[in-house]
Each structure stands twice: as C-alpha cells, then as structure tokens.
Amino acid sequence: MAQRYGGKYSPDGASNDQQARGAARPFKGASVDPVGARSNILFVPPVVLAFTSINEGAIGMGLGLVGAGALVLGAWLLRGGLTAEAAYQARKVSRRPAFPRKIAAAVLAGVGVGIAAFANEPGLIAPVIYGVAATALHLGAFGIDPMRDKGMDGIDTFQQDRVARAVGEAEAHLAAMRDAIKRSGDRRMISRVERFETTAKDLFRTVEEDPRDLTAARKYLSVYLMGARDATIKFADVYARTNDARARSDYEALLDDLEQNFSARTRKMLLDDRSDLTVEIDVLRDRLQREGVRIDRDVK
C-alpha cells in the first residue's frame, strides 16, 4: 500500500519535542529479518522440477511431484527454523526449539533431490550421492538448530513455562496492535506504536531473565496490553473514517503514558535485581569472613 511521505516539514510532521523523543534510540530493537533471500530462493527448484516433470509420463510426473513436494516442505520448515533460531539468539534465557526444523529441512532437501535424480537416472547409487550432497550443502549453508537450552541453569522450569505463556500472550497483544494501527494509514502513529513495542519487549526480556518478576509484571503483560490493543483497534477504525485530530492526540497521549509506565516498571525490576545481588554479595562476604578470609576491596 502506498504511504504519504512524512517528515519535519510535512503537514503532519512531528514537532521538535516529538523528534527529540524519537531520535534518542531510533534503531533500538531493530533486527534483520532472519528469513532472507537465501531461504526464499529454495522455493524456485521445486517449481521448476514440477513443471519439467509434466511431460515425463505418469511415473516420471509422479516422482517429480513427490520430489517437488519434499523440497517445498523443506523450504517451509527452513523458514520456521530460521525464525525460531533468531528468537533463541535474541534472548539471554531460552529453550532449544522443540522440533529441529532446520535439520528436517536439510533431510527433506536431500530426499527431494534424490527423488529428482532417480526420476532421471533410475538406480540407487546416483540418487543417494545427490541426496547426501544436497543435505550436506544445506547444512553447510544454513547450519543446524540450537541443540541445548541457554541460560536455564538454576531456573525453575515450571516458573519459566509460566513466563513463556504470559510473554506469548503479551506478544500476541502487541501483534494485534501492530496489525490494527496499519489500518489507520498514519505513518507517525505506526512508528509510535513500534516505539512502544520496543519498550514493552524490554519488559518482556527482563521478566524472561528472572521469572520471579512475573508477579510484579503480570498486569503489564495482560491487563494493560489488552487495553492498549482494544484502544488501538478502536482508534484505527475511527481515524481511518474521520481523520479526527482529537482522537489521534488522545491516542498518542495514551501511548506516552503506557511507555512511561512500562519503562518505570522495567527500571524498578532491574533495581530489585541489583538489590538481590547486593544481598548475595553481603552474605558471601560474611561467610568468607567467618572462614577467616578477609576481603579488603569492595565490589562495585
């Protein structure tokens, strides 16, 4: 969809104060789409294989379509595996993917290439060689899935599961906000929601790193975000029909309040974590001193 240019000197351009708030961290939270051209191009070979198999007779066409189906399924699994790996790498505390989609994609690529080779050169040796080579090249190009949990030592898995469910619901609310605000067609509001999303995700990551913070943050992950989602949907519907400047101003003020409160809650939880660290250091010092070990240098 075409979007009208917006800037400082455009009719709906941001004021200096708004620019100052947005310029402080314009690229914070930005990330490269893990599903790039390398993975998307893998959808081309199965299409070519399917079309070239049409005139090869019933058996040749059937083998070609089966091989194309295996290649398409492998390419689709690869996209999911790359997305899951990016989410794994973005978090300090994360579980390994439940299903190794990248490895499965490599195996399916080998199967698809092997079937295509068999259709053109019946036998066993050539298809196996081509299939193994395709699997090896796929693994070399895209790697394998994360095979172990990250940062899970000393963390209660039950609490971590509760956090994962709460964060999943919160991210669904953010996705609904992102989809709804696009209907308004207002670039500045779309950018404003993206900035709030970055602030909210800072809170998510803080809770994920210390599941004990879930109780203090539960209202933010559920009640407040659900209200923000509903307000965004109503604003997008109203603004798309009327371009009401008052509604836009009220909605922007709501986002400002939400962002300030989410930031304050994140800072509070980080300060609490630091207080816990200070207590642990003091307890350890007392134990060392009782054992006759003197510590002259303070830990900053």
Residue-wise pLDDT for 46-81, tens only, equals 999 999 988 888 888 999 999 999 999 999 999 999
Q: Is 60 exceeded by the pLDDT of residue 295?
A: no
- Based on the fold, state whether residues 41 and 69 are members of the same structural domain: yes
The domain boundary, picked from 120, 142, 164, lies at 142
- Based on the fold, state whether residues 227 and 276 are members of the same structural domain: yes
The domain boundary, picked from 86, 115, 142, lies at 142
Q: Output the pLDDT for position 90.
A: 75
* Residue 264 belongs to some domain of the structure: yes
- Based on the fold, state whether residues 268 and 205 are members of the same structural domain: yes
- Based on the fold, state whether residues 134 and 197 are members of the same structural domain: no
* Residue 118 belongs to some domain of the structure: yes
* Residue 17 belongs to some domain of the structure: no
How many domains is the chain built from?
Answer: 2
* Residue 1 belongs to some domain of the structure: no
| pLDDT class of 23 with cuts at 50, 70, 90 | very low
- Based on the fold, state whether residues 57 and 173 are members of the same structural domain: no
* Residue 127 belongs to some domain of the structure: yes
Q: Is 80 exceeded by the pLDDT of residue 286?
A: no
Q: Output the pLDDT for position 46.
A: 93
- Based on the fold, state whether residues 278 and 163 are members of the same structural domain: yes
* Residue 29 belongs to some domain of the structure: no
Q: Output the pLDDT for position 25.
A: 54
Q: Output the pLDDT for position 165.
A: 87
- Based on the fold, state whether residues 74 and 163 are members of the same structural domain: no
Q: Output the pLDDT for position 22.
A: 47
Q: Output the pLDDT for position 259.
A: 92
* Residue 203 belongs to some domain of the structure: yes
- Of 15-24, 239-248, 265-274, the range with the lowest mean pLDDT is 15-24
- Based on the fold, state whether residues 168 and 102 are members of the same structural domain: no
Mean pLDDT value of segment 154-164: 72
Q: Output the pLDDT for position 120.
A: 83
- Based on the fold, state whether residues 179 and 214 are members of the same structural domain: yes
The rounded mean pLDDT for the chain is: 81
Q: Output the pLDDT for position 20.
A: 46
- Based on the fold, state whether residues 43 and 163 are members of the same structural domain: no
Q: Is 60 exceeded by the pLDDT of residue 5?
A: no
Q: Is the pTM of this model over 0.75?
A: no
The domain boundary, picked from 142, 169, 203, lies at 142
- Based on the fold, state whether residues 187 and 253 are members of the same structural domain: yes
Q: Output the pLDDT for position 29.
A: 55
- Based on the fold, state whether residues 213 and 124 are members of the same structural domain: no
**What is the DSSP annotation of the chain?**
-------TTSTTPPPHHHHHHHHSSTTTT----SS-HHHHGGGHHHHHHHHHTTTSHHHHHHHHHHHHHHHHHHHHHHHHHHHHHHHHHH-SSBPPPSS-HHHHHHHHHHHHHHHHHHHHS-SSHHHHHHHHHHHHHHHHHH-----S-BS-TT--HHHHHHHHHHHHHHHHHHHHHHHHHHTT--HHHHHHHHHHHHHHHHHHHHHHH-GGGHHHHHHIIIIIHHHHHHHHHHHHHHHHHH--HHHHHHHHHHHHHHHHHHHHHHHHHHHHHHHHHHHHHHHHHHHHHHTT----SPP-
The domain of 201 spans 155-290
* Residue 90 belongs to some domain of the structure: yes
